[in-house]
Structure 1
């Protein structure tokens, strides 16, 4: 066989796959007892494994069901917890195992995960706000593994199913809420420019201002990254302006809570001296002091839907040739917003 060095050489999964005319993932599924392999294919692969005396590193009962991979940037955020919870719920309903990998945006971690994916023979992959280079995406496609993206970075690939929320409408609703309270100078702390959801929220913010006849002021737009730290620095920048805003729309709850810290350091009070709106409606939003007005995006439901697409097939879950699904956002009003001072 190609790559074998002699009679005693240990054949590899890749060599078995080449001789059988199937993918590496299919061989891995046979080795691990996955049910989703055609009988004729399974028999062909099993025969080759036996003829080459392949030593199985591990085995599982043939009734054991599949396995899906969830790849996420980080695990130490409430956002990630909600996504993991949603995927786990769907996996449990289908008696499917779940492997969670945090790559922290590091190429080396991504490559290590891809190598492990090949060995595991997973039945599907869910990417949550994770950047994959073209070569890495092709690697997954070569393994013939279903792939779904949650909140894609950049413009979604039309060939890859993706699940998100109505981010534009959420940004619009948040800004319209502040306009309805009488605010006219509304600052915004955005998310990363290359993230589709962040751009959509900013566009919704701008659309609300323009619809109300309030000009978009670039000085009131501060770049952020969805994290607490840029909420602090972004709000500090806005509050230091000669004409500071009377309200701030933060593109994530973590940034909104960072803005809380900046407001307090400035000797001001959230909800009385300046209004703050977030985005996500993480559990911490209702625990904040004062409780945070925010846009709820159904993170857990988004993750559950992504898992269902992987487990049941895109054609069954997204009929009519759809490849992009957006779940509705809703504004949740709490005590962090009020009328501008003097109104």
Structure 2
């Protein structure tokens, strides 16, 4: 028995008719020519998505090898480098190319035309999946990738409300709670917190873990000791200086990541505060620099390279038609105790 006629494959002429332009204009728009207005390009891309047009030439991969794109905002971070190492290892093992991309400007990546053109560029380069690495405001790119049938996996999501996002991260809440309990066990009662941006899921979970440990120990969370800023050395130094010059300074300060903690150590050194005799300091990530600080840094270890490997494996499985068992993969953390923490001063 016949199952009925197969659905006809959409053509360039179909796109032109749907968008109300010529085939030549469609070709120019899809090939990134700059002699097509933004409105026209937007109309053409909308028509491509609506009728399910799949180019057979200009946008097809130019190589038989598959590629994965890793996109982020700022590469100069030990954390980023750690995760990237894992993506490189996994891409090599899977025999796919790894393309490293900087994201479009934050102000423009939310525009549908910009997001769709960026995603089309990735597909033209043979990309079968995209990994966003702590990428801010990624929702426009995620939607554009979904429209183009390109899987998108986020590592440590930031500032996103996309309901169907697939992500890879660590047990940030449990890690921060364990570090806080370590300090409480050393007798510390005034414990400061300098965390990452409030829009970061990881930063928020770490703050909640810190608060949960204090609550469980019957200790009041002092708002004056809690700060949120960027994951960077300079904010750690600035906020630590403010905390350490309070009338009643904390005896311990927790950094939301290792870079913040390095800034705390710098502020303590500048103020003549001895670590760990007068101040205990912890970080989060266990990047290589944590073992090089003076004194070496107690920090929460998360498997950065494994996060990168997991992201590549997940996005490739999705590209092959698989569905992840969970939309959020969470890897375990552990505490690495070094010389930056000690008993609370009497």
Name the TM tier (shorter chain). 0.7 to 0.9
- The match for 2:85 is 85
Query: Cα offset for 1:207?
Result: 0.6
The answer (yes or no) to whether the contact 2:137–2:158 under 8 Å persists in 1 is no
2:291–2:297 contact (8 Å) kept in structure 1: yes
Measured at CA, do residues 11 and 268 of structure 1 come closer, stay the same or move farther in structure 2, by a change above 3 Å? Answer: closer
Distance 1:328 1:186 in 2: 24
| Offset, 1:241 | 0.9
CA distance in 2, matches of 1:317, 1:291: 42
Which residue of structure 2 lines up, in the alignment, with residue 221 of structure 1? 226
- Within-5 A mapping of 1:41-56: none
- Rate the CA distance shift 1:187–1:109 in 2: closer, same or farther, 3 A: same
Instruction: State the match for 1:128 in structure 2.
Output: 133
Match of 2:331 among 327, 336, 343: 327
* Residue matched to 1:37: none
Aligned-pair CA distance for 1:190: 1.1
Q: Is the 8 A contact 1:26 1:121 kept in 2?
A: no
Moved more, 326-335 or 100-109: 100-109
Structure-2 residue corresponding to 1:4: 22
Q: Distance between the aligned counterparts of 1:161 and 1:75, measured in 2?
A: 22
TM-score, normalised relative to structure 1 = 0.82
Aligned residue among 303, 319, 324 for 1:318: 324
Return closer, same or farther for 1:164/1:10 CA change in 2, 3 Å cut-off.
closer
Give aligned pairs, total.
Answer: 308
Asked if 1:169 is matched to 2:174, the reply is yes
- For residue 249 of structure 2, the aligned residue among 225, 244, 253 is 244
TM-score, with normalisation over the residues of structure 2?
0.81
1:131 counterpart SS class: coil
2:157 to 104, 129, 152: 152
> How far, CA to CA, are the matches of 1:247 and 1:290 in structure 2?
14
Contact 1:105 1:131 in 2 (8 A): no
Cα deviation, residue 270, structure 1: 1.6
Cα distance change, pair 135–222 in 1 and its aligned pair in 2 (3 A): closer
CA contact (8 A) 1:74 1:104 kept: no
Extract unaligned runs of 5+ from structure 1: 33-58
Q: CA RMSD in A?
A: 2.8
Structure 2 unaligned residues grouped into runs of 5+: 1-12, 32-43
What is the rounded CA distance, in whole Å, between the counterparts of 1:26 and 1:172 in structure 2?
53
Match of 2:273?
268
1:69 aligns with 2:42: no
